[in-house]
Structure formats: structure tokens, C-alpha cells
């Protein structure tokens, strides 16, 4: 078994992720950054051959993620180590290495953070603040209605095309493409359908006027597909006008609120799992803790013998 240069093998692995496994460009870019950091760490230790890496080297790299001047959060460190373990598993599977030195190295456990949701009244105020007849207001209202109605990730929303919206308005169902290019069908309520229809009829044609054709549903001022970063600005602008004050308000806040409000309304956790596109129900069950906390607070405030 010959030498396996770390940089060259990393490129092969990244191509495997992109082409054979269909990982998104965002995921591949993140893995590239992580593996470049790993390669630099190994190079500083005089290691350029992946087959020469031992478990102690991987453990030292894991410690370096926590011991650096600006330590990585547990979730970020776990993602980096996931990229490293993926690289070593790939080398083993391709017959380029005799062993996987990373298999027993575990990332630090992330502290369980409860999702941040806003109330139904705050969501309604947020949506109302995006109301208006200007093309960008019609777009913003349709975008926010869609995010809250479906629990879509911001990337899933901005990746939609006009044909997707047209089919969704007609059927009352929207097809979302999530992580790993997995697709799911999510119901679309009447408010979101009406907002999308108004945007398609009166808003999008103005934003697309005189520019090269694009299938993208949500367009920016220059007629290009709306970016994920711009969606943050849309939400912050609507929140400011609505007077909604919430820490870390983001597009994901509407996804969290979607799940929390469904469970509070009596939806089964496995139904919410399907709607969110979670691979495991364990990921969704964190929202049940939010609901339990709300019930506990209501009990303490309302029951005469609770205190």
C-alpha cells in the first residue's frame, strides 16, 4: 500500500461527497475548510501521508479544536471531526489505508440548547409588517408566509423555482428539497398560497422585468435569485417594523416556531418530524421539552397550590 498524500486524498473525498453522495455545495465547502485545517495540523507535525496518521494524532487534533485561542463550539468541533472521520473511512473503504485511526475519537458533547420560538401573536405581527403592494413587500410577505407555513429551512425556500410555487398553489402541497437532496411534501395553507399567488401575479414580474430569465421564485432587486443572507435582512426589517424583540431572530426562528406551535396545537411528534425533514425523531423531540416548559409555566401561574 503506497503513500496517500493528505491533500490529494481530501480532494478525492470531496468529489465523492459532491458527485456520488450528492452533498450540497455548502456542505462540501464546509468540509473543505475543515479538511484544510486538518491537513495543516498534520503538516505541522511532519505528516503528509494519511496512512501514517495514528489515533494519537487525531486525538491531538481534536484537543487543538478546544485548546486554541478562540475555541470552537462543541457543535462546530463535532462537524470538523465528522469531516476528518469521513476522510479516514473513505480512505479505508477505497483500500488506500489499512485502518481508520479516527474511529474511536469522539467529539465533545454539545450542550442541549432549546430552540428559540416566538409566540403566535408575534408571528402574526411579523407577517403583517411585511404587508404592502410594492413588489419587494409582496415578495417578503410570500417568503415569510412560506417559511412559517411549512417550517422550511432558508436554503429550501430560496432554492424554490416558479414551477414549484405554481404547483404548490394548485395542489396545496409544496415539495421541499432538504439535506442530502432528500425531498419531502409539506401542506401549504391558504394564507401562504394567497401570498405566493399575489407575489407571482403582481410582484415577481416587476422584479424580473428587463433582466435575463431565471426560474427562481424569490428574486432580489436585480432580478437574481434571493440569497440566504438577504432573507435574514427581510426578517430583521419586518421584526423592526412589527416591534418584535427576540434574541437571535433569524429565518430558523420561523422553523422553530412552526414546530413548537404544531406540537402545542396537538400534532404528533412523528408528524412534525416528517414535516421538518428530520432523519430521526430524537432530533424533533427537543421541541417537546419546549412545550412541556410552557405547560409547567402555565400551571405555576394558574394553579392555586402550584407554589
Catalytic residues: 153, 179, 252, 255, 278, 287
54 by Cβ neighbours in 10 Å (0-12 / 13-18 / 19+) ranks as exposed
Q: Grid coordinates in use for 130? A: 411585511
Measure the CA–CA gap between 48 and 58, rounded to whole angstroms.
14
133 contact partners, CB below 8 Å, separation of at least 6: 202
Provide the sign of the torsion angle of the four alpha carbons 244, 245, 251, 257, taken in this order.
Answer: negative
Half-sphere exposure of 255 (CA within 13 A, CB side): 17
* Pairing label, strands 173-177, 183-187: antiparallel
Max CA distance (Å), the chain: 75
DSSP 134: S
Task: Quote the radius of gyration of the chain (alpha carbons, Å).
Answer: 23
Closest CA relative to residue 145, chosen from 80, 217, 75? 217
Q: Residue 175, SS3?
A: strand
- Give φ, ψ of 234 to 5 degrees: -60, -45
CB 287 within 8 A of CB 115: yes
End-to-end CA separation in angstroms for the chain: 70
Amino acid at each position: 500500500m503506497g503513500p496517500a498524500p493528505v491533500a490529494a486524498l481530501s480532494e478525492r473525498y470531496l468529489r465523492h461527497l459532491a458527485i456520488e453522495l450528492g452533498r450540497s455545495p455548502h456542505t462540501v465547502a464546509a468540509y473543505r475548510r475543515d479538511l484544510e485545517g486538518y491537513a495543516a495540523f498534520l503538516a505541522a507535525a511532519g505528516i503528509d501521508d494519511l496512512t501514517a496518521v495514528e489515533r494519537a494524532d487525531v486525538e491531538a487534533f481534536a484537543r487543538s479544536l478546544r485548546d486554541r485561542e478562540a475555541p470552537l463550539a462543541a457543535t462546530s468541533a463535532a462537524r470538523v471531526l465528522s469531516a476528518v472521520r469521513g476522510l479516514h473511512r473513505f480512505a479505508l473503504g477505497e483500500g488506500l489505508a489499512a485502518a481508520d485511526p479516527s474511529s474511536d475519537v469522539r467529539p465533545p458533547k454539545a450542550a442541549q440548547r432549546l430552540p428559540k420560538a416566538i409566540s403566535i401573536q408575534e408571528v402574526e405581527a411579523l407577517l403583517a409588517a411585511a404587508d404592502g403592494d410594492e413588489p419587494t413587500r409582496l415578495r417578503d410577505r410570500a417568503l415569510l408566509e412560506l417559511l412559517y407555513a411549512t417550517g422550511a429551512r432558508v436554503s429550501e425556500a430560496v432554492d424554490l423555482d416558479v414551477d414549484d410555487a405554481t404547483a404548490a398553489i394548485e395542489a396545496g402541497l409544496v415539495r421541499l428539497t432538504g439535506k442530502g437532496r432528500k425531498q419531502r411534501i409539506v401542506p401549504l395553507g391558504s394564507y401562504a398560497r394567497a401570498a405566493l399567488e399575489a407575489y407571482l401575479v403582481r410582484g415577481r414580474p416587476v422584479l424580473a422585468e428587463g433582466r435575463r430569465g431565471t426560474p427562481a421564485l424569490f428574486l432580489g432587486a436585480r432580478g437574481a435569485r434571493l440569497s440566504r443572507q438577504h432573507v435574514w435582512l427581510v426578517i430583521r426589517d419586518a421584526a423592526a417594523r412589527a416591534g418584535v424583540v427576540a434574541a437571535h431572530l433569524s429565518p430558523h426562528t420561523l422553523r422553530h416556531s412552526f414546530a413548537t406551535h404544531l406540537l402545542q396545537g396537538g400534532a404528533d411528534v412523528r408528524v412534525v418530524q416528517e414535516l421538518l425533514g428530520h432523519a430521526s425523531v430524537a432530533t424533533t423531540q427537543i421541541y417537546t421539552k419546549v412545550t412541556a416548559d410552557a405547560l409547567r409555566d402555565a400551571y405555576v401561574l394558574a394553579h392555586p397550590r402550584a407554589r
